[in-house]
Amino acid sequence: HTAAANGTGKSLYSGNVVLTTNSVTGGYELRDPSRGSTYTINMKNKSQGGTIFTDTDNIWGNNLTSDTASAAVDAQYGTALTWDYYKIVHGRNGIANDGKGAYNRVHYNRSYANAYWSDSCFCMTYGDGDGRSLRALVSIDVAGHEMTHGVTSRSANLTYSGESGGLNEATSDIFGTMVEFYANNANDAGDYLIGEKVMISKAFLRNMMKPSADGASADCWYSGLGSLDVHYSSGPANHWFYLLAEGTNSSLGASPTCVAGNTRVATGSGSLSGIGRDAAAKIWYRALTVKMTSSTNYAGARAAAISAANDLYGAGSTQSNAVAAAWSAVGVN
């Protein structure tokens, strides 16, 4: 039995948000009948089991970790935003494009400092963080990042190692960021950083404006890129997206271009004009869902993105030329 109701969520990172919940006998459950019946369960710091969150007055959480429902609000909100982003912007009906919602498991295990998507349960798992370097990993960009792994798996299915693994990770950073911009939430404004809300000891997990700022990611393609961990070989594709969307003269941050392998040089000779986030995201979504395959590498991603831009905007269009120029700027020729 499902009956959509309007609830209020008091989140950890996004202030107070509107949640669509499910009216049941005696109260409400944290399930969204309007978005594929997405729901959130409380793992109660265990790694198995879990029960759906329920509430009597449809006001969930207290913006603090002292109420276990607060992190559940962030997770449920992040799932709703990701659903809406893919549906409204890209016409995709859920992660698998079949109208089925995923579910969330929050408070997974103890001091668990990660979040991950699983294809087998079609579900999201969120840890509370270790309390030293990471808080609960339920921010909008992390939720969008993780669920995009589900989208990738149901489309190009980029193999999670080597260069295709870096492209897989970058796809999650790109659309996680796009979901954050889409949310337009005053408490968690859109930016080109990943994980800025959940980090305690550092400012971000990853930085699309300057990937190497994390101390490990590459800014530019080089022949050994595929040997890096996939969370670091994502750097050139993350930076490509940033340069394509915003260009080199953005007020947002420094935008190095690349020459000779992974050497970063100051911008000057190679100035780029951005085509805007929305056009850049449309191009990458088409590349992901129509052009790329499990074994696509960086050279293949360049070809896929140019082909997608040609389809959407025409060969020789400003957008198509900008796609090529941005790939060249990160060393992919």
Catalytically active residues are 146, 231
172 near Zn ion, rule: CB under 5 A? yes
Residue closer to Zn ion by CB (options 155, 172) is: 172
Strands ordered across the beta sheet of 27-29: 54-55, 27-29, 16-24, 4-10, 59-60
Q: Which is nearer to Ca ion, 36 or 129 (CB)?
A: 129
Q: Of 32, 128, 146, 196, which lies in the binding site for ligand ASN, with binding defined by CB under 6 A?
A: 146
| Dihedral sign of CA atoms 191, 183, 130, 217 in order | negative
Among 193, 205, 209, 228, binds Ca ion (CB under 5 A): 193
What is the rounded CA–CA span in Å between residue 208 and residue 256?
A: 11
Q: Are 144 and 82 in contact (CB under 8 A)?
A: yes
Strand partners, 206: 194
Among 114, 118, 161, 212, indicate the residue that binds ligand ASN (CB under 6 A).
Answer: 114
Q: Exposed, middle or buried by CB within 10 Å (0-12, 13-18, 19+), for 243?
A: buried
Among 29, 128, 141, 163, binds Ca ion (CB under 5 A): 141
Q: Which one of Ca ion, ligand ASN, Zn ion, none is in contact with 193 (Cβ closer than 5 to 8 A by kind)?
A: Ca ion
Of 68-76, 91-99, 110-118, 180-188, which part binds Ca ion (CB under 5 A)?
180-188
Question: Please, which residue, 116 or 222, has the CB nearer to Zn ion?
Answer: 116
Cβ atoms of 209 and 254 closer than 8 Å: yes
Binding piece for Ca ion, criterion CB under 5 A, among 64-72, 141-149, 223-231, 242-250 = 141-149
Asked if 163 is part of the footprint of ligand ASN (rule: CB under 6 A), the reply reads: no
Q: Does 115 bind ligand ASN (CB under 6 A)?
A: yes
The answer to whether 29 touches 7, Cβ cutoff 8 Å, is no
Which residue's structure tokens are 């050279």? 299
Which chain residues interact with Zn ion by CB under 5 A? Answer: 172
